[in-house]
Structure 1
Amino acid sequence: MTRLVSVAPVLTWLFLFSTACAHGNPAQDERDLHQLVAVQAEAWNSGDAVAWSKDFTQDADFVNIVGSVFEGHDQIEQRHAAIFSTLFKGSQVKVTVRKIVFPQEDIAVVDTVHEVTGHGGLPPGVQNTEPGLLRTRMKYVMRKTAGKWQILAGQNTDAKPVP
């Protein structure tokens, strides 16, 4: 009986620790998601398509501001390499996280506002929201696997100019 009593505190600690880990840490998850978005903005500002797309899963989907769908990490990276060398070459983006929702502890929906300046042009049908400023709303669906957040899907919608 003495042996069981001395093991009980260790077993209790292990149970509590594993339970705490299973429920995640929402505050840390929010910090990690903010960091992922900040790193992606830095990559945009450097024109680095590899770094910009690195957190997309291999089977991710991305809908751009004109409604084109890119399927898979490679296609997302290739398309961003193309825009970083043409219309958005030298552009700068400021990204604000508007809201993060966790429908499950390992799933996050991240709603952001992107403000792009310094672009050399815009795709057909897209207009600056204000002179020299393209504002878009980007919504990401992310999943945490093995302690790392990755992007499953993204959709970017341009904010129309006020008439």
Structure 2
Amino acid sequence: MSKNYKKASNPEQIPALFTDAWMKRDADMLASLFTEDAEFVNVVGLWWHNREDIKEAHAYGFDKIFGDSDLVLRESRVKYLSDEIAVVHARMRLKNQTPKGEVNTPSLRQNIFTFVVQKLESSWICVSAHNTDIIPGAETNIIDEEGEFKSVNYRD
């Protein structure tokens, strides 16, 4: 990561910088938002433990899964835990994921990102991130007797 990528001067900028890196398909730029020993959990529970692994995972994703995708930041909120630590939640929308198998036109996905950020010197950097899909109409997940994973709603 030899380029001088833009740094976040406040926690609110992290989701926008993440989205910008995503739209540029720039895994180095995306990884620059994270500390060397950052943690990242994706929507299916894959867990990366450092900046280099986060970069490699996103480079693969941009190449194979999200090459034509469109990620839009819808809303974000910041909760300061101290003057130097904050939690940033960001609601996003993803479209144009690469088709796979019998899914020729993947539908829109919505997600919530949780970024835990820390102020180091004069900028903010992400120490941990977790991405969660929003499943419309669902309250939780369940695995049936055949081992099939499903999202369910106990209210209906």
Q: TM-score, normalised by structure 2?
A: 0.75
Q: Distance in 2 between matches of 1:104 and 1:145?
A: 13
SS, match of residue 104 in structure 1: coil
Q: Distance in 2 between matches of 1:141 and 1:134?
A: 23
Q: Among residues 137, 140, 153, which one is paired with 1:162 in the alignment?
A: 137
Task: Report matched runs for 1:81-100 at 5 Å.
Answer: 81-100=59-78
Match in the other structure for 1:72:
50
Match in the other structure for 1:44:
22
Q: If you compute each CA radius of gyration, which structure gives the higher value, 1 or 2?
A: 1
Contact 1:53/1:73 (8 A) holds in 2 = yes
Match in the other structure for 1:140:
115
Match in the other structure for 2:146:
none
Q: Among residues 103, 114, 117, which one is paired with 2:92 in the alignment?
A: 114
Report the aligned-residue RMSD: 2.1
Task: Return the offset for 1:119.
Answer: 1.0
1:57 and 2:57 are equivalent in the alignment: no
Q: Which has the higher helix share?
A: 1
Contact 1:137/1:158 (8 A) holds in 2 = yes
SS, match of residue 14 in structure 2: helix
The percentage of aligned residue pairs carrying the same residue is 27
Number of equivalent positions? 127
Q: Which has the higher strand share?
A: 2
Structure 2 residues without counterparts, runs of 5 or longer:
1-7, 139-156
Match in the other structure for 2:80:
102
Name segments (4+ residues, structure 1) moved above 6 Å.
none
